[in-house]
Amino acid sequence: MTRRHRTSSTPLSNSDEFFRISACTTAKEAWELIKVTHEGTPEVRRARKNALIQEYEMFRMLQGETIMDVQKRFTHIVNNLKGLGKKFDEEEVNVKILKSLNRKWQPTVKQ
């Protein structure tokens, strides 16, 4: 499993998860339960990926946002998309972040 965070709306406690898994009769059944619990169903992953793609495409620096906050927010989107199987060209990502900066940063970027 490559992703380390849960997409389910209600996280399970360790004891709840243990009891749900212990009720499984095969390793495959237990693995499928763990995958759905931690990663969501294929439909949930697809919806999440589509929402993140839209967020990536619409990404802009917010008014009053520091360059560090922009970088953190952008990296979070890109890393989550990579975790969902999206491939990025390094140049594409670099151009995207530079184009997302507000006018205050444009003269700095062009030099």
pLDDT value for 16:
81
Specify the higher pLDDT residue, 1 or 46: 46
Concatenating the DSSP letter of every residue in 27-57 gives HHHHHHHHHHHHH--HHHHHHHHHHHHHHHH
Q: Where are the domains of the chain?
A: 1-40, 44-110
> How confident is the model over 95-110, as a mean pLDDT?
80
| pLDDT averaged over every residue in the chain | 83
pLDDT value for 7:
43
Predicted confidence (pLDDT) per residue in 13-35, tens digit = 567 878 888 888 999 988 888 87
Q: Is 86 left (phi over 0), alpha (psi -120 to 50) or beta?
A: beta
pTM: 0.65
pLDDT value for 111:
52
Predicted confidence (pLDDT) per residue in 44-69, tens digit = 888 989 999 999 999 999 999 999 99
pLDDT value for 5:
44
Counting beta carbons within 10 angstroms of the beta carbon of residue 42, is it exposed (0 to 12), middle (13 to 18) or buried (19 or more)?
exposed
pLDDT-above-70 percentage for the chain: 82
